[in-house]
């Protein structure tokens, strides 16, 4: 291994600790309601068994209840026909199976559906369902707001309010599924509608790693929702030290928000680059464990007119990703009220895409979805107030 890669790896443990400590103060609210009942969604299998044993139930109930919650989509103990009525009643006194409240649901003319979910403490985040012909992806938020302020992103104009908890992350998917009635989870075959998950909504998933990881382990569990890691894509703006961990522990597909191929420009439009520059980011991609020809890393590249869309940029992009199992996703910039950029011209996008394709990389242009309801990439933002004083002043971690 070249020495500079070693140096990065050596830093990793300390960096991880620092990131986790800094984001801890943005923790989600506890899973116990005002009436003392405990939320079961978002608990790991082990935690669910412990909670049931504490309540005087046999540990084997965890398997039954897990099935009802995550395979059947039950939100009420009274439908759990494999559990005796008196036990159902006892469980209902101690526990709840919640969903975030769908405060606003809008469906675009192209059938994209955007949900504004309200959580127990009143904080809100957006989730988008993007249907395709024989499948569909749920684009999930990981934080309310974002500490990173990428210049072209609407979410980035909203300071981080807080991290979402595992229950809230899984809950977005489950509530979206409720909306399409796609329960029980189909066995052995991919669901028809909500088949994929993309962690590309509001927030930086690798700055809320613990909750995102817990939520993804729940949705991947084969006795519940059962979505394969191959159908989950985590998008990061490049939190290098956490990429190794996500790859090793979750094994999901990786998307990297590259957007610029020179450090001077990337420093400006993706400010996290000042901390983890392109060279380190590309090294982390090269060692991302799950990547292979069958599971390529997606490089997301927002097309900004006259900023990052020249043929020279395209050629440098090809140089950066050469030798990697990679594909490039060109995203025409989606404007939002007050945004300062323009979308590249169709000619510039085609020219750029052709250079990347001629070098052997797939380079589709992502068609904007749900633009009429501001549901396209980078348009998500909520008007929620900041929960804690000082959150706005929090430095990017």
- Which residues sit at the interface with ligand SF4, rule CB under 6 A? 146, 148-150, 153, 155-156, 202-204, 237, 257
Report if residue 298 touches ligand SAH, rule: CB under 6 A.
no
Helix (H) or strand (E) holding 327, with range, is: strand 326-332
Q: Determine which one of 39, 126, 168, 204 is catalytic.
A: 126
Token pair listed for 303: 């097309």
| Comparison of 168 and 300: residue with beta carbon closer to ligand SAH | 300
Q: Are 375 and 369 in contact (CB under 8 A)?
A: yes
Residue 272, number of CB atoms within 10 A of its CB: 24
Residue listed under structure tokens 């009220």: 337
Q: Are 256 and 281 in contact (CB under 8 A)?
A: yes
Instruction: Say which entry of ligand SAH, ligand SF4, none residue 136 contacts (CB below 5 to 8 A, set by partner kind).
Output: none
| 126 has catalytic annotation | yes
Helix (H) or strand (E) holding 178, with range, is: helix 166-180
| Comparison of 43 and 331: residue with beta carbon closer to ligand SAH | 331
Give the nearest residue (CB) to ligand SAH.
378
Please tell me what DSSP assigns to residue 360.
Answer: T
Among 378, 381, 382, 391, binds ligand SAH (CB under 6 A): 378
| Comparison of 94 and 366: residue with beta carbon closer to ligand SAH | 366
Of 195, 166, 165, 167, give the one whose Cα is nearest residue 180: 195
| 377 has catalytic annotation | yes
- Per-residue binder mask for ligand SAH (CB under 6 A), 228-267, x = binder: -------xxx-------------------x----------
Q: How far is CA 217 from the centre of its chain?
A: 13
CB of 333 to ligand SAH, least distance (A): 5
Judged on CB neighbours under 10 Å (0-12, 13-18, 19+), 264 is exposed
Q: Rule CB under 6 A: which of 40-59 touch ligand SAH?
A: none
Instruction: Say which entry of ligand SF4, ligand SAH, none residue 65 contacts (CB below 5 to 8 A, set by partner kind).
Output: none
Token pair listed for 219: 């949705």
Which residues form the catalytic set? 126, 377
* Contact positions vs ligand SAH (CB under 6 A): 150, 152-153, 200, 204, 235-237, 257, 300, 302, 331, 333-334, 377-378
């Amino acid at each position: 291994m070249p020495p500079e890669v070693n140096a990065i790896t050596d830093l990793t443990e300390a960096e991880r600790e620092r990131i986790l400590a800094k984001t801890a103060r943005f923790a989600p609210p506890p899973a116990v309601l005002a009436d003392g009942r405990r939320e079961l969604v978002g608990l790991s299998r082990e935690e669910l068994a412990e909670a049931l044993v504490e309540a005087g139930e046999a540990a084997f109930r965890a398997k039954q209840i897990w099935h009802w919650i995550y395979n059947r989509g039950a939100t009420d103990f009274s439908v759990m026909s494999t559990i005796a009525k008196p036990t159902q009643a006892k469980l209902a006194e101690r526990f709840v199976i919640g969903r975030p409240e769908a405060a606003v649901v809008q469906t675009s003319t192209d059938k994209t559906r955007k949900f504004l979910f309200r959580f127990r403490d009143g904080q809100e985040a957006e989730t988008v369902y993007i249907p395709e012909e024989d499948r569909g992806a749920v684009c999930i938020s990981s934080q309310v707001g974002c500490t990173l302020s990428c210049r072209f992103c609407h979410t980035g104009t909203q300071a981080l309010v807080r991290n979402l908890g595992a229950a809230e992350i899984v809950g977005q998917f489950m509530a979206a599924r409720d909306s399409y009635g796609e329960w029980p989870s189909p066995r052995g075959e991919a669901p028809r509608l909500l088949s994929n998950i993309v962690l590309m909504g509001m927030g930086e998933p690798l700055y809320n790693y613990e909750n995102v990881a817990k939520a993804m382990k729940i949705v991947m569990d084969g006795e519940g929702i059962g979505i394969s890691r191959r159908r989950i894509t985590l998008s990061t703006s490049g939190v290098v030290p956490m990429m190794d961990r996500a790859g090793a522990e979750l094994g999901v597909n990786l998307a990297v928000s590259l957007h610029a191929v020179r450090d001077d420009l990337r420093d400006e439009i993706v400010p996290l680059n000042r901390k983890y520059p392109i060279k380190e980011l590309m090294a982390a991609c090269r060692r991302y464990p799950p990547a292979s020809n069958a599971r390529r890393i997606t490089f997301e590249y927002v097309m900004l007119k006259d900023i990052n869309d020249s043929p020279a940029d395209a050629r440098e992009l090809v140089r950066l990703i050469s030798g990697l199992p990679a594909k490039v996703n060109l995203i025409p910039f989606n404007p939002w009220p007050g945004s300062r950029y323009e979308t590249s011209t169709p000619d510039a996008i085609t020219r750029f895409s052709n250079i990347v394709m001629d070098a052997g990389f797939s380079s589709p242009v992502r068609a904007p979805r749900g633009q009429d309801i501001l549901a396209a990439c980078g348009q998500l933002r909520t008007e929620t107030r900041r929960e804690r004083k000082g959150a706005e002043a929090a430095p990017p971690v």
